[in-house]
């Protein structure tokens, strides 16, 4: 889909919670909508966050090629190419997926703090899927690296649980 128009709207969930709604519209009239909690922030930040969510959603659980589909998640090489500019830096998110991990394509974020907040938010979302007694409720949930692969930040289960409780 070739994006011809974007829009950020303030919206409300059926239970009255304020959200941001990012709408991406294509040439043929198709639109993709991303609803996000935490309605604070600029339009640019909202669009960047919505793009990151779309990338995460589009690639989560899907192999990029046959080699990845047949691997155990320990990929031989991940090549990241980008150039940093005034619109932010590139960050790479790894998500714990059972006993393996899932690395999504690089995301441009306006700042390290924005990337860190996104990592924490995603870790809180992953908590919902963890089952006491079945899943390992220790260790990391999300790892944040720079474009060279240097680990910058890790969100563990305890930190995600603390953030979830603080948000309630």
User: Are the C-beta atoms of 160 and 124 separated by less than 8 Å?
Assistant: yes
Out of 3-7, 81-85, 125-129, the most confident range is 3-7
- Tell me the pLDDT tens digit for each residue of 72-85: 444 444 443 434 44
Q: Is the pLDDT of residue 108 over 60?
A: yes
The confidence score (pLDDT) of residue 67 equals 53
d(CA 20, CA 39): 5
d(CA 139, CA 156): 5
The confidence score (pLDDT) of residue 83 equals 40
In 42-139, which ranges are E strands?
A: 89-97, 100-103, 107-109
| pLDDT averaged over every residue in the chain | 77
The confidence score (pLDDT) of residue 62 equals 53
The confidence score (pLDDT) of residue 142 equals 92
The confidence score (pLDDT) of residue 116 equals 92
The confidence score (pLDDT) of residue 82 equals 39
d(CA 115, CA 139): 20
d(CA 69, CA 54): 21
Helix, strand, coil proportions of the chain in percent (round to 5)? 30, 35, 40
The confidence score (pLDDT) of residue 153 equals 94
């Amino acid at each position: 889909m070739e994006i011809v128009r974007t829009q950020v709207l303030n919206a409300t969930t059926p239970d009255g919670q304020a959200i941001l709604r990012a709408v991406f519209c294509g040439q043929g009239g198709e639109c993709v909508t991303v609803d996000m909690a935490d309605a604070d922030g600029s339009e640019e930040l909202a669009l960047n966050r919505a793009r990151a969510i779309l990338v995460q959603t589009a690639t989560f659980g899907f192999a990029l090629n046959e080699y990845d589909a047949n691997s155990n998640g320990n990929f031989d090489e991940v090549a990241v190419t980008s150039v940093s500019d005034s619109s932010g830096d590139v960050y790479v998110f790894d998500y714990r997926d059972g006993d393996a991990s899932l690395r999504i394509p690089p995301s441009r974020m306006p700042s390290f703090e924005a990337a860190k907040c996104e990592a924490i938010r995603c870790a809180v979302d992953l908590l919902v899927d963890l089952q006491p007694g079945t899943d390992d409720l220790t260790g990391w949930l999300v790892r944040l690296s720079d474009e060279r692969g240097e680990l910058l930040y890790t969100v563990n289960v305890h930190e995600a649980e603390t953030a979830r409780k603080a948000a309630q």
